Amino acid sequence: MNQTAIARSWVEHANGHRDFPLQNLPLGIFSRPGQAPRCGVAIGDAILDLEAALAAGVFEGAAKAAVEATRGGALNAFFALGRPARVALRERLQVLLGEHSEHRAVLQAALHSAGECTLHLPARVGDYTDFYVGIEHARNVGKLFRPDNPLLPNYKHVPIAYHGRASTLRPSGTDVRRPKGQKLPAGQTEPSFGPCARLDYELELGIWIGQGNDMGQPIAIGDAAEHVAGFCLLNDWSARDIQAWEYQPLGPFLSKSFITSVSPWVVTAEALEPFRCAQPARPEGDPQPLSYLLDNRDQAAGAFDIELEVLLLTERMRDEGLPAHRLTLSNTRSMYWTVAQMVAHHSVNGCQLQAGDLFGSGTLSGAVPGSFGSLLEITEGGKQPVQLASGEVRTFLEDGDEIILRARCVRDGVASIGFGECRGTVVGAN
């Protein structure tokens, strides 16, 4: 067994931690009361202040340069350094936080309880692109509107995406204000304006871009994985009634741009290496990807085995002390296109990607009930309400409802790691 897989930390609560053992070490931006945001590393239920550790003199060489690039309250400069910097920092942190560390005493002062800290967006996001690579979601939604032809002809040829709104990306825990907009209610011929009545969540994987490319220079599929810095959870909140009226012919606009929630910790590509897997074989009859999207190494190990979960907690459930209701349990293996294919396609026309850009995978649903990544699918467009232990029912989200996204990687012989949570509570429209 790989010794890293069984390594322990002197931070006792990190050992066996559901999300943040020594084998994970995700990076994020945090602040303590009265202090400016700075970079930290999640270890168990604590955060290691990297600037404080740097001041203590425990870094040198490439690892020191990596920490210096995290200064300023955003990880963009660190992302731009690429994989060598991430590896150097990760290897040094595993030594510093390992159970035999010689620096435990000095690092203890740089360790803070996560519950006493505020978490922020990890990077300044210049651009946000939302893909549609969850084929089961595409099928499920397609069946609602086109029962005889759920997938459009281009789906299996092109990693479909649209350009989202970066200005309303927000970290986990930010309230979700119910949006207003134009709608065309069933049976009416003229649109009306008012609060969204069909508010939904979408379970997605977020992808943080590391090193970018020059404008006009596509990223080759064989190199694309090297341009990914890490991953997070992403909730692409969706106003379904606004979306239904506005999306033709140019796709989502105000139905998506009111808020997108992002989990605050960046799980690095290196931490996910043990959970890589082969891209599921395309069914017989599906077209082979065009050459710019096809790489043998990517097909052999470009997918990830990440379990995804969605929970719903209503206001009444909180008041009555009831546990959250699981809505969804799915997996990233439902992605029809790999992350590398997404990067290669996004840049093939010469589009410039930059460090800190964020991709959403699109909703990641499974093929069977219990694995659907949105209420639109679960309730069949509102026809089949969800029954809750509190006696309540839901077709779409109501004010006071909280959605909780979680993700976990589990494999025999390897320490399990998680992403933390991505939370958002719906509040009434202005």
The single residue of 17, 100, 103, 137 carrying the catalytic annotation is 137
Considering only the top CATH level, what class is 128-427? alpha beta
- The helix/strand count (H/E) of the chain reads as 12, 26
By the 8 A CB rule, do 373 and 307 touch? no
Name residue, tokens 């990693």: 159
Helix (H, G, I), strand (E, B) or coil at 261: strand
Output the six-digit token pair for 87: 């590896």
Query: Which of 39, 57, 122, 46 lies closest to 96, judged by CA?
Result: 57
Question: Would you call 143 exposed, middle or buried from its count of C-beta atoms within 10 A (0-12, 13-18, 19+)?
Answer: middle
pLDDT at 145: 84
The CA-to-CA distance between both ends of the chain, in Å, stands at 56
Instruction: Assess whether 137 carries a catalytic annotation.
Output: yes
Helix (H, G, I), strand (E, B) or coil at 121: coil
Domain positions in the chain: 3-120, 128-427
Query: Which of 27, 154, 168, 53 lies closest to 106, judged by CA?
Result: 53
pLDDT at 1: 42
pLDDT at 146: 87
By the 8 A CB rule, do 268 and 294 touch? no
Show the CA angle centred on residue 334, arms to residues 268 and 213, nearest 5°. 45
What's the rounded Cα separation, in Å, for the pair 274 and 251?
A: 37
- Consecutive 10-residue averages of pLDDT for the chain (430 residues): 73 98 98 97 98 98 98 97 98 98 97 98 98 96 87 95 97 98 93 97 98 98 98 98 92 96 98 98 95 98 98 98 98 98 98 98 97 98 97 98 98 97 97
Name residue, tokens 């963009």: 76
Long-range CB pairs of 9-13 (<8 Å, 24+ gap) are: 9/43, 9/44, 9/97, 9/98, 9/99, 10/97, 10/98, 10/99, 10/101, 10/104, 11/43, 11/44, 11/46, 11/97, 11/111, 12/44, 13/44, 13/45, 13/46
Same CATH topology for 3-120 and 128-427: the answer is no
AA identity, residue 380: E
Query: How does DSSP classify residue 318?
Result: H
Query: How does DSSP classify residue 299?
Result: H
Name residue, tokens 């435990």: 104
Q: Which string of DSSP letters, residue by residue, matches 331-382?
A: EGGGBSS-HHHHHHHHHTTSPPP-TT-EEE------SSTT--SSHHHHTTTT
CATH H-level, domain 3-120: superfamily: Fumarylacetoacetase, N-terminal domain (2.30.30.230)
Query: Which of 207, 223, 229 lies closest to 83, judged by CA?
Result: 229
